[in-house]
């Protein structure tokens, strides 16, 4: 499928790579790019062989430097609300994919770029990565989920500090406070992502899918209800051929041969 602002590739079976590619604008997010992210998410969701989605930015300077200010500068209140809702819908669709979505942050992840990374299940950061929610410098609050996902990831106090000061943090601090999972050399970022994706793709697909769903849904429930939900998913896994194969392979001391059934 041809896109104007993103690339959607499948470097290996089961592994997709979505690249935001507007290098002249430091990969800034405009309405057209948000539409393409949503379409690409649908393409991945409709592929029964999809196992992992990696998300990154083109070039070496920026993951996504923010939303496109040239599009936003003359917004009316109604247009501003609609643009914010547009981005939130696109990112919610990405977040809801029934497979792991990993952000490979290769440079500046500011504003909408930080929010895009936060909509992914976890973040691997290049040593050159910089994170921030600088919207207050522009007279607006974060609009693509930053006020909601950042507190859920690092706690409300730390999130409010970053959201209200616009302070940018480097990769090491991002990892220390829980924004990013790990920091790797810039030259090895894509390979690290592919290596992790291969590991996940080699696991039982239903087990991975139910694990993500249990974590996501369980986070919104009380502990007792979340544990009951986990038990339901464990039972569903036991209805799959992959569960039988995985346990048989363990007993026979051989690698499992998962089929996704």
Could you tell me if residue 260 is inside a domain? no
Residue range 138-186, pLDDT digits in tens: 999 999 999 999 999 999 999 999 999 999 999 999 999 999 999 999 9
| Residue 135 known to be catalytic | yes
Q: Enter the tokens of residue 249.
A: 């392979």
Say if CB 67 and CB 33 are below 8 A apart: no
Mean pLDDT across the stretch 89-107? 97
Say if CB 111 and CB 133 are below 8 A apart: yes
d(CA 100, CA 64): 20
pTM to 2 decimals?
0.95
**Same domain, yes or no: 159 and 227:** no
* pLDDT for residue 1 is more than 80: no
d(CA 133, CA 153): 14
**Same domain, yes or no: 170 and 225:** no
**Same domain, yes or no: 193 and 66:** yes
- Pick from 125, 128, 129, 133: nearest CA to 167: 133
| Residue 230 known to be catalytic | no
Say if CB 67 and CB 112 are below 8 A apart: yes
Options 60, 115, 173, 252, the catalytic residue: 115
**Which residue segment(s) compose the domain that 109 sits in?**
6-201
Options 81, 127, 135, 172, the catalytic residue: 135
């Amino acid at each position: 499928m041809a896109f104007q602002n993103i690339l959607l590739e499948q470097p290996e079976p089961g592994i997709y790579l979505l690249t935001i590619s507007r290098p002249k604008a430091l990969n800034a997010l405009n309405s057209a790019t948000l539409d393409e992210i949503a379409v690409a998410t649908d393409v991945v969701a409709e592929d029964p062989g999809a196992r992992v989605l990696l998300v990154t930015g083109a070039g070496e300077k920026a993951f996504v430097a923010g939303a496109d200010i040239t599009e936003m500068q003359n917004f009316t209140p109604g247009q501003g609300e609609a643009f914010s809702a547009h981005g939130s819908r696109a990112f919610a669709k990405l977040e809801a994919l029934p497979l792991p979505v990993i952000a490979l942050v290769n440079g500046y992840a500011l504003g909408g770029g930080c929010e895009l990374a936060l909509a992914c299940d976890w973040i691997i950061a290049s040593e050159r990565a910089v994170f921030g929610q600088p919207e207050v410098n522009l007279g607006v609050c974060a609009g693509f989920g930053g006020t909601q996902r950042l507190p859920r990831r690092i706690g409300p106090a730390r999130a409010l500090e970053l959201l209200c000061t616009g302070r940018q943090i480097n990769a090491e601090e991002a990892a220390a406070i829980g924004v990013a999972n790990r920091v790797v050399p810039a030259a090895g970022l894509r390979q690290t992502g592919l290596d992790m994706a291969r590991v996940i793709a080699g696991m039982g697909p239903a087990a991975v899918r139910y694990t993500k769903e249990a974590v996501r849904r369980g986070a919104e429930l009380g502990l007792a209800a979340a544990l009951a939900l986990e038990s339901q998913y464990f039972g569903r896994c036991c209805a799959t051929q992959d569960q039988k194969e995985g346990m048989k392979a363990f007993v026979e001391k051989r690698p499992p041969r998962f089929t996704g059934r």
